[in-house]
A and B are shown apart, each in its own frame.
Chain A
Amino acid sequence: MTISVEQYRSALGSAIISAVAVVGFLAIYLGAGSLGQEAAFFPRLVAVLGGMSAAIALAESCYTVLTAKPDAQRAGSSDKGTWTDFFVSYGGPPLYGLMVFVFGFWAASAVGIPGLLYLLGERRPLFSFSITGGTLLIIYVVFDLCFDIKMPGSFLYEIMVQR
């Protein structure tokens, strides 16, 4: 049986995730041992159900990986973009979260939005700053003015002051 390279990669990834899940559900089952009998029953039941499904998914994926041959000629979705795109797309949101933690919401957003736009290829400064200003203004009006929800300041600063 021949499959596309993407399908082969997907099966390999599924096998790894399923193996991790088997270990995870086993840890949940064992971890529930420290709970009282009544409190432990549901997590243990879930761990058995999840562990069994993960084991079957692992077997299915391993079967595909071991029996199928990846064929570069077969049609499959080809990867678009560069490694920079990949890191900006998947690393950008966690990095922005870290910036909110360190600098606070407003400062992190004022830097984060134009920064992300620039990294994604937007080179018009006026456009970038209008988008940033507009977004932050909407958030200020909706959250702060209408619902009186204050966006977070720097959590790192707060922790340092408390210490």
Chain B
Amino acid sequence: MFLATLAGLVVGVVPGLGPITAMALLIPFTFSMQPLSALLALASISVAANCSGAFTSILLNVPGETSSAATCFDGHPMAKQGRATVAIGLSIGASFFAAVIGVLVVIAIAQPLVTVALAFGPPEYFALAAVGISLVAGLSANSATKGLMMAAFGLWLSSIGVDSVIGEPRFTFGLLELQDGINLVPVMTGIFAITEIMDWMKERGTISRLGRIEGSVWQGIVETFRYPVALIRSTFVGIGVGVVPGVGAVAASFLSYEIEKRFSKDPSRFGKGAPEGVIAPEASNNSAICAGLAPALTLGVPGGATSALLLVALTVHGIRPGPMLFTSQPSLIYGFLVGLIFGAVMFLIVSVMCARALSLVTLVRAEVLGPIFLVISFAGVFAQNQQFSAVIVAIIFGVVGCIAKAFDFPAVPLVLGLVLGRLLDTSFNQSLAMSDGSWMIFLTRPISGSLLAVAAVMVAMSMFARLRRRKSAQIFAGGQD
């Protein structure tokens, strides 16, 4: 478990290389292991990689994992203020708490959680994806229209490839590489890592503007528990979103971030190094991954790629996931879930030991960091599916990211569109097929109707907040005149 945790930490901090690659490569090595040891090794990699993905988000503004993208918003500004170790401490504290609570919730109420998951049909999935897209307005600080434009671009990118319902190729331009669609990892690496590297090389200097590191990792861990409401709320938002198969930790982290921003007494602190801005996405993405285990173990329906790989490992060892798993193999399943908590403890120890050393990267000159991370990012992107086309996609989106940054077009809505687009498209078509083409299916079903109402309220709230900001700015300008 220690070695798996260490391996998870390494793959978590390398952009492009994630738990999915590491787990997929490790599965053949687990054939000769006892089932419990095999599951624990894979789960430790997953826990450590998901938790440590935040480290590069904080230190370099480059998400190590897709689910850590929202951590960049406040984690990196803290690193710029010389508080990198404190931010890492916040992410460790939140990840640890959420992982433990997430596992305990799965142990305690796996069956009721699955009932919630079963209540979700295509219209509910569509409505949930619509809630995710409604976050765009809030995540586009300066211009909602630019945010919507970028989200639409992301949604279009998600429609590239063979359509999952009808099976018709769309916008592939005859290229075989585009048949499977646009992979998220090269887009993320391009838009975050390559863009950031280009900026480092141009701006120079060190990431920590102070030229030193202040605070300690323990200070961050302790500070996490000074925000109990944000911590608990985000953990349970993660569990709620994570239990629904296919939505995943990425949507959960953005949703929690936006919720904390909305509930904050002073939302203007967000994006400038607010501790809740690190706690919320980290707590929710880790609890979402743990909650995703409930439908995976009891229904055989994976909540995401990592739980799908755990299912593969279970099947390889002759264990069939299903409602009876908790009663037919109690020692294995409960041993595995308790082992996950030990995995989280192991991660806590290893990451506390490494945090200070990792933070030193914020004191290295950007002109040295740039070439190093450029090469590592390219290697990480190529490692995903070992095709050069992924590298080309990363370069293209690096340039897109640079142009977007230069002219104040937010990049996050593009990623959100790409993540949620396929779910939105597939569930929309399936819903209409269920209702013989009637759009009323989205409104007449209680869960989908309520979720769509939540989406409408979120859009209305952000528009209202924007109008109020504009009005107060005009009053301020008038007062100055």
Determine whether the beta carbon of B170 is less than 8 Å from that of A39: yes
Q: Restricting to B274-323, which residues have a CB under 8 Å from any CB of A?
A: none
A151 contacts across to B, CB distance below 8 A: 379, 382
Given A38-B165, A142-B10: A14 and B407 interface contact (C-beta under 8 Å):
yes
Q: Mark A44-59, 1 if CB is under 8 A from B, else 0.
A: 0011011101101100
Judge whether B383 is part of the interface by a CB distance below 8 angstroms: yes
Determine whether the beta carbon of A39 is less than 8 Å from that of B163: yes
A94 to B400, CA, bound (A): 12
Determine whether the beta carbon of B202 is less than 8 Å from that of A89: yes
Chain A CB within 10 Å, residue with most, of B159, B204, B421: B159
A41 to B425, CA, bound (A): 9
A54 contacts across to B, CB distance below 8 A: 145, 149, 152
Determine whether the beta carbon of B371 is less than 8 Å from that of A116: yes
Q: Mark A69-94, 1 if CB is under 8 A from B, else 0.
A: 00000000000110001101110111
B472 contacts across to A, CB distance below 8 A: none
A50 to B370, CA, bound (A): 34
Determine whether the beta carbon of B201 is less than 8 Å from that of A88: yes
Min CB distance A25 to B, Å, is 7
Determine whether the beta carbon of A96 is less than 8 Å from that of B145: no
Judge whether A113 is part of the interface by a CB distance below 8 angstroms: yes
Min CB distance A100 to B, Å, is 7
- Which of B33-41, B239-247, B384-392 binds A? B384-392
Partner of B202, one of A41, A51, A86, A149: A86
Determine whether the beta carbon of A18 is less than 8 Å from that of B378: no
Q: Restricting to B192-217, which residues have a CB under 8 Å from any CB of A?
A: 194, 197-199, 201-204
Q: Mark B372-413, 1 if CB is under 8 A from A, else 0.
A: 101110110011001010011001001100110011110000
Judge whether A125 is part of the interface by a CB distance below 8 angstroms: no
Q: Mark B151-186, 1 if CB is under 8 A from A, else 0.
A: 011011001000101101011000000000000000
A121 contacts across to B, CB distance below 8 A: 367
A4 to B98, CA, bound (A): 46
A42 to B133, CA, bound (A): 15
A67 to B375, CA, bound (A): 45
Q: Main SS of chain B's interface residues?
A: helix
Judge whether B329 is part of the interface by a CB distance below 8 angstroms: no
Judge whether B21 is part of the interface by a CB distance below 8 angstroms: yes
A109 to B194, CA, bound (A): 16
Judge whether B83 is part of the interface by a CB distance below 8 angstroms: no
Given A38-B166, A135-B372: A50 and B145 interface contact (C-beta under 8 Å):
no
Given A43-B171, A120-B370: A97 and B378 interface contact (C-beta under 8 Å):
yes
Judge whether B347 is part of the interface by a CB distance below 8 angstroms: no
A31 contacts across to B, CB distance below 8 A: 171
Partner of A93, one of B149, B163, B374, B403: B374
Given A17-B403, A42-B428, A90-B198: A147 and B21 interface contact (C-beta under 8 Å):
yes
A97 to B391, CA, bound (A): 7
A109 to B168, CA, bound (A): 40
Judge whether B20 is part of the interface by a CB distance below 8 angstroms: no
B371 contacts across to A, CB distance below 8 A: 92, 112-113, 116-117, 120, 131, 135
Q: Restricting to B2-30, which residues have a CB under 8 Å from any CB of A?
A: 7, 10, 14, 17, 21-22, 25
Given A10-B408, A46-B155, A97-B395: A105 and B379 interface contact (C-beta under 8 Å):
yes
Partner of B372, one of A81, A113, A150: A113
Determine whether the beta carbon of A46 is less than 8 Å from that of B171: no
Chain B CB within 10 Å, residue with most, of A17, A100, A120: A120
Min CB distance A55 to B, Å, is 9
Min CB distance B243 to A, Å, is 26
Judge whether B148 is part of the interface by a CB distance below 8 angstroms: yes
Across the two chains, which residue of chain B brings its CB closest to A24?
A: B153
Determine whether the beta carbon of A25 is less than 8 Å from that of B22: no
Determine whether the beta carbon of B370 is less than 8 Å from that of A116: yes
Judge whether A65 is part of the interface by a CB distance below 8 angstroms: no
A39 to B386, CA, bound (A): 30
Min CB distance B476 to A, Å, is 15
Q: Mark B419-436, 1 if CB is under 8 A from A, else 0.
A: 001001100110000000
Judge whether B474 is part of the interface by a CB distance below 8 angstroms: no
Judge whether A126 is part of the interface by a CB distance below 8 angstroms: no
B25 contacts across to A, CB distance below 8 A: 147-149
A155 contacts across to B, CB distance below 8 A: 388
Judge whether A146 is part of the interface by a CB distance below 8 angstroms: yes
Min CB distance B371 to A, Å, is 4
A56 contacts across to B, CB distance below 8 A: 145
Judge whether A143 is part of the interface by a CB distance below 8 angstroms: yes
B456 contacts across to A, CB distance below 8 A: none
A147 to B183, CA, bound (A): 21
Partner of B407, one of A10, A47, A131: A10
Partner of A14, one of B146, B370, B376, B425: B146
Determine whether the beta carbon of A93 is less than 8 Å from that of B197: yes
Determine whether the beta carbon of A49 is less than 8 Å from that of B428: no
B328 contacts across to A, CB distance below 8 A: none
B403 contacts across to A, CB distance below 8 A: 17
Determine whether the beta carbon of B376 is less than 8 Å from that of A139: yes
A14 to B408, CA, bound (A): 8
A101 contacts across to B, CB distance below 8 A: 388
B194 contacts across to A, CB distance below 8 A: 93
A56 to B147, CA, bound (A): 12
A116 to B171, CA, bound (A): 36
Min CB distance B432 to A, Å, is 8
A50 to B152, CA, bound (A): 5
Q: List 7 A-B contacts (CB under 8 A).
A: A14-B146, A41-B429, A57-B143, A116-B371, A135-B375, A135-B376, A151-B379
Contacts A41-B428, A80-B202 aside, 14 further interface pairs with beta carbons under 8 A come to A38-B165, A43-B170, A43-B171, A46-B155, A53-B152, A56-B145, A57-B149, A80-B204, A96-B378, A105-B379, A121-B367, A131-B368, A131-B371, A151-B379
